[in-house]
Structures are given as structure tokens and as C-alpha cells.
Amino acid sequence: MSHNENSPLIDHSYYEDDDDDEEISCIQKWCLIICFIIILIVVILIFIPQQGDIDQNIPSDISVIPYQYQLSFKSHWYFGYLIETLPVEFKDEQPEYVLLAEIISTSTSWTFGEYEVREYRHNNTSGNMFPVKTVTSSLKDNAYVSFKTSSDANSTESLDPATCDYMISLTDTLTGYIYRKCANSHELDYTKISNVKGSTTWGLTFYDGDEIYALTSETQYWWNMNRRDVVVTTSAPFPQVIPAIYTAYYDTIQHIRDTKGRRHFR
């Protein structure tokens, strides 16, 4: 038998290769669809706050954040900061950190900059913890911060920083300033009370001249939720929670500017 009689007229390997290509193409399409769904879920989790943060009817109270605490991300997937005590010794089932408060977003997107501080109180009757709203803030050209004040807020005997309103301003280089306006002192305009230098990653310093009012430490690694120490002095002209609120707005404004920069260079 000749060589031509042994040779097939149709090369079946060609069709087998074509089928393999179609199978690979189908797998690639499904991989792209799955990746798109995962990205969409991540974007929703990051930019849309938890519904409970918006709907809950939270009572108001006065801020009692201590002079030293730790600040960390609540999640890497959506907006939120936790304010906790410094590490304590373990006793029975006591956690290493005790939750004091959270900074949460109250709008449909955390990039709108509408935040609240919700501090946790202990119910002596039931033994349970419950949240109270102590600070509200909004972002326009600057960030404006308002505190729930005590019933004697109209007293002019002494200036209580927790009875005033504050404005946080950040320059193009992310150098910051804190301004204060106290209604019980009949102040109509904001007055600068502190400069802020540094970054949320490497640490912030709140100061005026040679006097340091507050410090935040360098953040720990991402798997430890970027935890950092916050120390506020007793001479600070602002409430102890201000460095935490400043951190939240620093990160938000930096994210907004970075996003606009990427769009501009596309």
C-alpha cells in the first residue's frame, strides 16, 4: 500500500485544536464575568455604608473619649474607624482592646464626608452596651464638626472645648489646620487653634508653635487594620476625639484627590 493510501484525507487534529480553543475561550469569558462580579461587590462594600448605620435612631450624648486610645480601620472593605482602649491585661474572657466608639458614614457614599461618632455606653441594668451619637460632621470645602453639648453649655464661666464647633482645613499638600468657634463665647467666626503636620500613615502632629497638643503614631501593618496610637494632652484646645475625626477626613480627602488625579491623566 502506498504512502498516500495510509495518509488520512482529513486532519482530525485540526478540529481537536479548534475545540480546545473554544473551550479555553469559554473559560476565559467565565473568568472575566466572575472577576467583574467580585470587583462590583468590593466597590459596593467600599463606597456604600452599612444600611444599619443610616437607619438607626441613635440617642445623643456628650463625648467622653479618653486622652489616650487606639484608632484603626473597622474593615478594609468599607468605611469605618474603631476607637479602642490601649492594650489591657487579659482577665478571663476580657478582650485585649475595649471598643469605645466608631466613626461611621451616614450618607449613601462615604466620599460625601457625612460622618458621626458613636460612642458606647454600658447599661448598668441589663449589662449590655448601647451606642450614643456624640459628634456629627460634614464635608464641603472644609470639614465641619459639631459636638453634642451639655445642658450648661451656655455657661461662660469656663471654656469647654466640647461645647464648640470646629472646622478642619487641608491644603493641596495635605498640611492641615483646625479652627474653632464657640457659641457660648459669642464667637461668630472660626479662629485657628492648631496646625497639623505629617500624614495618617507616618503619624500626625497637632501643634501651635513649640507646644504639641496631640500625636498619632505610625500605622501598623494592613493585616492589623492600620492600628495606631493617639495621645492628646490636657492642654489641647479641642476634644480628645478630634485627631480621630481629622484622620478620617485626611484619608477621605486624599482618596478623592487621588481619584481625580487618575481620571485627569487618563
Q: At 244, which amino acid appears? A: A
User: Checking DSSP bridges between strand 81-84 and strand 99-105, what pairing results, if any?
Assistant: antiparallel
Helix (H, G, I), strand (E, B) or coil at 159: coil
The residue assigned the cell 488625579 is 261
Could you list the pLDDT tens digit for every one of the 266 residues in the chain?
Answer: 555 555 555 555 544 555 555 665 777 777 888 887 777 665 555 555 554 455 568 889 999 999 999 999 998 777 899 999 977 655 556 667 889 999 999 888 878 999 999 999 988 888 888 999 999 999 999 999 998 765 454 444 456 788 899 999 999 999 999 999 988 778 889 999 999 999 999 999 999 999 999 999 999 887 788 899 999 999 999 999 999 999 999 999 998 888 876 544 33
Could you tell me if residue 209 is left (phi over 0), alpha (psi between -120 and 50 degrees) or otherwise beta? Answer: left
In this prediction, residue 92 carries a pLDDT of 58
* Distances, alpha carbon 32 to alpha carbons 37, 77, 92, 229, in Å: 9, 21, 49, 42
Count, residues in the chain: 266
Q: Cα–Cα distance between 236 and 215 in angstroms, integer?
A: 11
